[in-house]
Amino acid sequence: MTEPSALVLFSGGQDSTVCLAWALARHERVETIGFDYRQRHSVELWCRPKVLAEIKARFPEWGRKLGEDRVLDLGVLGEVSDTALTRERAIDFEASGLPSTFVPGRNLVFLAFAGAMAYRRGLGSVVGGMCETDYSGYPDCRRATMDAMGQALTLGLDRDMPVETPLMYLDKAQTWALAHELGGDRLVDLIVEETHTCYLGDRSHRHDWGYGCGTCPACDLRAKGWAKWRAGR
């Protein structure tokens, strides 16, 4: 490859949007990939094009680097998953201690497909918003899992394919701070207005930190992070 490049796992949410900005600030060529796995909050898929369009409009220097976007149909993942993200069921904790929002193998599947796409497109790395600081204990968000997947992709594709995770050790307040560091108020405002985090797919309630039900774990993390970041400014 003649230029630094990356493929960003882009869901349309807060974390993946910050990761996209991070990648655009560092790489000369950036493409995006999303996944339709019949998620309960599929509204995030409708947010993706708007977020990408707003990035191009508000940050022309990033827009020039932003390449193709694609969404892969991984409906089979939803079919084999009985979780609160793929079924109409309560968000609670399982006997395993993991929340019912845990979709087994989700990030492993995402990274395998992203690695294959990055290989085909000649992109140098995969970037994801996995984090083991403010998370729900998902084992496929841990640094060790990401390192293992990066090694597996490198071995399986017979070329270096690192998995970059810029949010791995940041809490949500620090993620808001990183967004501001990367793109100032323009990026923070974009994230508030256009991205989606709520597990229930609620876009009818507007809060200072964005749209959502305000009570699910994803909204709770986003709201608390926003309040902590704003209080520390």
Q: Kindly give, in sequence order, each residue whose CB lies less than 8 Å from that of residue 36, ignoring residues fewer than 6 positions away.
A: 42, 45, 71, 72, 73, 74, 75
40-51 pLDDT, tens digit per residue, is 777 889 999 999
∠ CA 41-43-47, nearest 5°, is 130
Half-sphere exposure of 176 toward its Cβ, with a 13 Å CA cutoff?
21
pLDDT at 146: 94
Asked if the 5-231 domain carries CATH number 3.20.20.140, the reply is no
Q: Kindly give, in sequence order, each residue whose CB lies less than 8 Å from that of residue 209, ignoring residues fewer than 6 positions away.
A: 192, 222, 223, 225, 226, 227
pLDDT at 2: 40
Each residue's pLDDT, cut to its tens digit, for the chain (233 residues) gives 345 999 999 999 999 999 999 999 999 999 999 999 888 777 889 999 999 999 999 999 999 999 999 999 987 877 777 665 566 666 666 666 656 666 777 889 999 999 999 999 999 999 999 999 876 678 888 999 999 999 999 999 999 999 999 999 999 999 999 999 999 999 999 999 999 999 889 999 999 999 999 999 899 999 999 999 999 88
pLDDT at 91: 60
99-126 pLDDT, tens digit per residue, is 666 677 788 999 999 999 999 999 999 9
Q: Tell me the residue type at 83.
A: T
